[in-house]
Amino acid sequence: MQKLSTLKNSRRITGALLILFAVLVVCIVFVGLDNATGIILGWMATASLITVVARKWRKIRYFLILLAATFVGAIFLAFIYVEVALPLAEWLGGINASQSMAWRVFHVVVSDIILLFTPVGIVIGIVGTIWLSILRLVTLRHRARTDTT
């Protein structure tokens, strides 16, 4: 019976986080990502989306992988953007290719992915690692106290 209750609460929390994500995305559409308010709303939306995935993680390793993957992913996306996509666009479309609508859309998408996911992924990776480390230390300390008494 308790498993059913836990599953029901888990679905409610996941649903609430996804609804929060959707509401924040709608707010971002109206505010835009070209100001501080929009960026903060974007970070909050991204945090709610990553929290849906990372909420059940109970191993420090997963948060460290998130931290590393976010950091390396941002560097990789920036590298692909500057060293591959831009020269390829100029080779295919000429010197004015970076002024085209397709390039602007690509630029905005890549820039927003880097802007929104990198800081949030790094912060959630660090906070999750610290939080689980503290929980492990408290558990170990509690076990040591109960073993000695």
pLDDT, tens digit, 9 for 90 and up, residues 118-147: 999 999 999 999 999 999 999 888 877 777
Sign, Cα dihedral of 79, 50, 69, 128: positive
> How confident is the model at residue 99, as a pLDDT?
84
10 pLDDT above the threshold of 90 = no
DSSP the chain: -HHHHHHHHHHHHHHHHHHHHHHHHHHHHHH-SSSHHHHHHHHHHHHHHHHHHHTT---HHHHHHHHHHHHHHHHHHHHIIIIIIHHHHHHHH-TTGGGSHHHHHHHHHHHHHHHHHHHHHHHHHHHHHHHHHHHHHHHHHHHHHHHH-
pLDDT, tens digit, 9 for 90 and up, residues 27-73: 999 999 889 999 999 999 999 999 999 998 999 999 999 999 999 99
Amino acid at 145: R
Closest to 50 measured CA to CA, from 29, 33, 75, 67: 67
Cβ neighbourhood burial of 88 (10 Å; 0-12, 13-18, 19+): exposed
1 pLDDT above the threshold of 80 = no
101 pLDDT above the threshold of 60 = yes
Q: Structure pTM?
A: 0.82
